A and B are shown apart, each in its own frame.
Chain A
């Protein structure tokens, strides 16, 4: 009788969430030929596998940054102040769909959407209320906004100026990752080439004038949420990053002048070790690309710093309190993976935007990991694990293979034009759904351990009056502006768009004269044309 017959295995699929086969045991043989000096290095040193800083969380804990935004600017301002009072260390702003797509609150296409999925913003007047009494020289702010990120940056810098804060003291992050919009998040105005040009304008401008600002957060989060596997998430995200670096170098920027300020954003899904391995593989791959492909010489240029967020898509509407446990495990994986910043999702987000109570539990989860669990005491505590190092190598190799394919297509913009990443993701999402439907992947409380649901949870409702009030305010405000000044600014912007001049200085002057986000987006639409997606399903 063999050992397998005496000790039979459960009839389960032993593979990671992304389908990587998992062995029953990993041993020193699993890592034959593997060199810790080459593959790991020391934390804070090339290739940064063990972390981007020499002391990691012993020096400073990760930034606890909860994404918030809903209703009118003053509603979100109140939530910001509440979160700061609860010990949160950075702000993160969610904008509503009209702002994200380049429409003012009073535009017909904004009907029904004002303040629903984020805060409503049309002019600098709204931005001033959003950041009222928040000292922009002390707090760093992350803004999840993309095709209109240039407008948000202009408005943020204008508010800082009004607060008397010099731009070189302003810190924060714009998501501003347009390539992943075409791949996954799907909020766009113009086609990829002009969209990347505006991104490079922002990279160039912040490198010169706002040195503490991260002009792009190269994001895998949305790619994963749209259905990608961990490997696809990593590969497409790094490919997007390479796309921006190539475009910035093509403009003549020195790699070491802007690369240190490129930042990343990854999803942290259910498979604990796979997610930790993904972050470690990401750092190693990026460091090597920057050094070997682009000839970066500063260590800061090779460091992949990343924000992380627990996987929204893993949350269930059924038995919603179970999401607290999922989020805790995912958050722990983010920390063990060496994240610089983390957003923990609230248990009620499959129902609506989170309530204050749910957000507090999510923030406390991070504080418990940081201050009670002991995991933040030593750097990369899982480094050297036979399993984790094997998985890190596998994910790195598989992602690299995808990137080679994209390189062969002529780069990420060409790949997007052909619909390659979009199709890969749609296929993975469909496969995943079918596995859930056939109970091949367990979703606790949904396809296993389901219960008749008790009383529904309390969830946040946005009063319908908010839209009406905000629309009226924007209308009145726009009518009170100096129309001739607004016209002049729009003309200057159109000229900058059609030429090669950096749009940022023109944009900052425009928003200071209260030119609106929608008006600026209209100039982009006219100057650059509209993007039409390939229909793939």
Chain B
């Protein structure tokens, strides 16, 4: 039986309007054969988690360039755990200083991509580390 495609929600949490990166990543993942749901801008963590659960997503990719990453990633992880959806992997990217990356990974964020990352690296990460739920 053919495995179903990996489904990724690409989301812009918080008030930040910088969506160039999120849209490029969404498109690169779609072109690589994944199913992509792009939430659009200005989403609350609650809205993002609701979308991921409803869409039966395997992963959430968060893009944050506003400096609010510590709060927003943590809140998304908390809400996933609360809803018994802790198996949905969370990764992300944006303007995220190195010392915050360590903290976010310790919190449970699978991977973080910073400026200069090639889309191929992100595609490779999803292919190697995200599994479609059965």
Query: A109 contacts the other chain (Cβ, under 8 Å)?
Result: yes
- B22 nearest in chain A by CB position: A537
Q: Which residues of B contact A316 (CB under 8 A)?
A: 115-116
What are the interface flags for B1-43 relative to A under an 8 Å C-beta threshold, 1 for contact and 0 otherwise?
A: 0000000000000111111101110111010000000101110
Q: Would A117 and B44 be within 8 Å (CB), given that A316-B116, A426-B23, A537-B38 are in contact?
A: no
What are the interface flags for A304-319 relative to B under an 8 Å C-beta threshold, 1 for contact and 0 otherwise?
A: 0000000001001110
Interchain pairs with CB closer than 8 A, number: 96
**Contact residues of B between 80 and 103, Cβ < 8 Å to A:** 95, 97-98
**B17 CB contact (under 8 Å) in A103, A186, A459:** A186
**Contact residues of A between 311 and 366, Cβ < 8 Å to B:** 313, 316-318, 350-353
Decide: A537 and B66 in contact? CB cutoff 8 A: no
**Contact residues of A between 523 and 537, Cβ < 8 Å to B:** 533, 535-537
Query: B71 contacts the other chain (Cβ, under 8 Å)?
Result: yes
Query: B79 contacts the other chain (Cβ, under 8 Å)?
Result: no
Q: Once the chains are docked, how many angstroms separate the CA of A44 from the CA of B42?
A: 44
Q: Once the chains are docked, how many angstroms separate the CA of A447 from the CA of B30?
A: 24
Q: Is the interface of A mostly helix, strand, loop or mixed?
A: loop
Decide: A112 and B14 in contact? CB cutoff 8 A: yes
Q: Which residues of A contact B72 (CB under 8 A)?
A: 112
**B119 CB contact (under 8 Å) in A187, A226, A426, A434:** A434
Decide: A116 and B67 in contact? CB cutoff 8 A: yes
Decide: B68 and A97 in contact? CB cutoff 8 A: yes
Chain A interface, number of residues (Cβ within 8 angstroms): 45
Q: Once the chains are docked, how many angstroms separate the CA of A533 from the CA of B41?
A: 8
Question: Which residues does A use to contact B, with CB under 8 Å?
Answer: 97-98, 100-101, 103, 109-113, 116-117, 181, 185-187, 225-227, 313, 316-318, 350-353, 426, 429-430, 433-434, 436-437, 443, 446-447, 456, 459, 461-462, 533, 535-537
Instruction: List 5 other contacts, CB 8 Å, given A226-B19, A351-B95, A437-B118.
Output: A97-B68, A116-B66, A351-B97, A443-B116, A537-B30
Q: What are 23 A-B contacts with C-beta separation under 8 Å?
A: A97-B14, A101-B42, A103-B15, A109-B15, A109-B44, A112-B14, A112-B71, A113-B14, A116-B66, A116-B68, A186-B18, A186-B19, A226-B19, A226-B20, A313-B20, A350-B95, A351-B95, A351-B97, A426-B27, A430-B28, A456-B98, A462-B67, A537-B23
Across the A-B interface, give the 7 residue pairs with the lowest CB-CB distance, nearest first: A112-B71, A186-B17, A116-B67, A97-B15, A112-B68, A537-B23, A317-B115
